[in-house]
Amino acid sequence: MTHKSIVTLFAAALLSTNSFSQASQSAIAEDFKPSTLNQPGQEYPQVNSQGYARFRINAPKADSVKVSLGLGGRGGTKLTKGSDGFWTATTEGPMDEGFHYYNVTVDGGKFNDPGAQNFYGSVRWESGIEIPAHDQDFYALKDVPHGHVQQILFPSKSTSTSRRAFVYTPPGYEKDKSKKYPVLYLQHGWGEDETAWSNQGHANLIMDNLIAEGKIKPFIIVMTYGMTNEVKWGRIRDFKIDPFQTVLTGELIPYVDANFRTLANRDNRAMAGLSMGGMETKSITLNKPDVFGYYGLLSGGLYSPDDMKDKAKPKLVFISCGSKEKPDGVKQAVADLKGAGYNAVGYVSENTGHEFQTWRRSLHELAPLLFK
């Protein structure tokens, strides 16, 4: 697969974002509750048991208010002004399960919903809403031992600054001071940053729960900024991997190996990424096959056997996407890799698109396969 066609794969998925589920449009159940991502004490936005979202925004003197969610490419949901000065609307149909970014246009200016918490995406802090999912238990906050997520500031000579990363250490990391752990380097997508996998993805809770269930071998996750946002979305093919590759493999990995109790070798080091972070993963793993032993692309392109020939064989290649993206491409790529003797695993998230529910599920599938 060419570089261009990889870009096309996830660009097409993103640009056609249609967050509606395919449920039939029956009567709207009046069991709306505040979204779990609301700011403290805020009643709106709300979601109901069918996945509809309802918005309510105070702007008594405005002439028009709309939210960007609810009609896919067709311009979002227009709100209607009530006599109390609040604008309200319910989405035309139920939304896909999971997390969605959105924003609010008030009289032609783009703002956030004051009721919702903000999440970094689209190169801005956007409002976020959570549609309850049938499988949300796997990323729920439970009464189990919790790992820690720490912000580190690591020195970066190549960019002449201290750069930020977040490091998940599993429960018990602080107690057994002799145990060493494998490490997954996990990248966000275009328009996002190093906060995405914890805030939107709940990567730490996914790990805590899998560890509590005894389903995975505990490992460390490192999340840093992929330097992806300096390139405009339409010009992603112009993105050069070298500066980030230098930061990741020349600066961050040595810092992590020096400051955390890691198993510092290829067979205990994985790299995975979502969307444009998958593109980065593909480039860096193929450029540095001695550094990473496990590869994961989450809605972020495909590997072919040709990509990897004459290189050290990875211990695992994991490729996933949502069923509303291009699952046939994922299935074919995995079949080709298996046919060529690679340990390849594919995963398709049902009824989700190019959004975080696909990636939460993908991490949940990938984690048990790592570091076997």
What would the two tokens of residue 305 be? 């056997």
Shortest Å, Cβ 201 to its own copies: 14
Our CB check for its own copies shows the closer of 16 and 39 to be: 39
Shortest Å, Cβ 45 to its own copies: 15
Among 57, 196, 207, 248, binds its own copies (CB under 8 A): 57
Among 23, 123, 263, 345, binds its own copies (CB under 8 A): 123
Among 2, 4, 24, 40, binds its own copies (CB under 8 A): 40
Strand ranges across the sheet with 124-131: 98-102, 124-131, 118-121
Taking CB under 8 A as the rule, does residue 265 contact its own copies? no
Shortest Å, Cβ 205 to its own copies: 9
Among 146, 266, 288, 338, binds its own copies (CB under 8 A): 146
Instruction: Give the separation between CA 298 and CA 205, rounded to whole angstroms.
Output: 19
Our CB check for its own copies shows the closer of 1 and 149 to be: 149
Our CB check for its own copies shows the closer of 168 and 185 to be: 168
Would you say 297 and 275 are in contact if contact means Cβ atoms under 8 Å apart? Answer: no
Taking CB under 8 A as the rule, does residue 195 contact its own copies? no
Taking CB under 8 A as the rule, does residue 7 contact its own copies? no
Taking CB under 8 A as the rule, does residue 176 contact its own copies? no
Among 124, 217, 266, 288, binds its own copies (CB under 8 A): 124
Taking CB under 8 A as the rule, does residue 250 contact its own copies? no
Instruction: Give the separation between CA 288 and CA 284, rounded to whole angstroms.
Output: 6
The per-residue b/e assignment along 136-155, b for 16 or more CB within 10 angstroms, e otherwise, is bebbeeeeeebbebeebebe
Taking CB under 8 A as the rule, does residue 155 contact its own copies? yes
- 3-state SS of the chain is CCHHHHHHHHHHHHHCCCCECCCCCCCCCCCCEECCCECCCCCCCEECCCCCEEEEEECCCCCCEEECCCCHHHCCEECEECCCCEEEEECCCCECCEEEEECEEECCEEECCCCECEEEECCEEEEEEEECCCCHHHHCCCCCCCCEEEEEEEEEHHHCEEEEEEEEECCCCCCCCCCCECEEEEECCCCCCCCHHHHCCCHHHHHHHHHHCCCCCCCEEEEECCCCCCCCHHHHHHCCCHHHHHHHHHHHHHHHHHHCCECCCHHHEEEEEECHHHHHHHHHHHHCCCCCCEEEEECCCCCCHHHHCCCCCCCEEEEEEECCCCHHHHHHHHHHHHHCCCCEEEEEECCCCCCHHHHHHHHHHHHHHCCC
Give me the 88-117 binding string for its own copies, x by CB under 8 A, dash otherwise.
----------------x-xxxxxxx-x--x
Size of the site for its own copies (CB under 8 A): 53
Interacting span for its own copies (CB under 8 A) from 23-31, 140-148, 287-295, 311-319: 140-148
Give me the 59-78 binding string for its own copies, x by CB under 8 A, dash otherwise.
xxxxxx--------------
Taking CB under 8 A as the rule, does residue 229 contact its own copies? yes
Taking CB under 8 A as the rule, does residue 246 contact its own copies? no
Taking CB under 8 A as the rule, does residue 161 contact its own copies? yes
Taking CB under 8 A as the rule, does residue 260 contact its own copies? yes
Our CB check for its own copies shows the closer of 76 and 322 to be: 76
Shortest Å, Cβ 109 to its own copies: 3
Our CB check for its own copies shows the closer of 148 and 372 to be: 148
Shortest Å, Cβ 117 to its own copies: 7
Taking CB under 8 A as the rule, does residue 58 contact its own copies? yes
Would you say 69 and 105 are in contact if contact means Cβ atoms under 8 Å apart? Answer: no
Name the site residues for its own copies (rule: CB under 8 A): 39-41, 57-64, 85, 104, 106-112, 114, 117-118, 123-125, 141-143, 146, 148-155, 161-162, 167, 169, 174-175, 177, 198, 204, 208, 229, 258-261
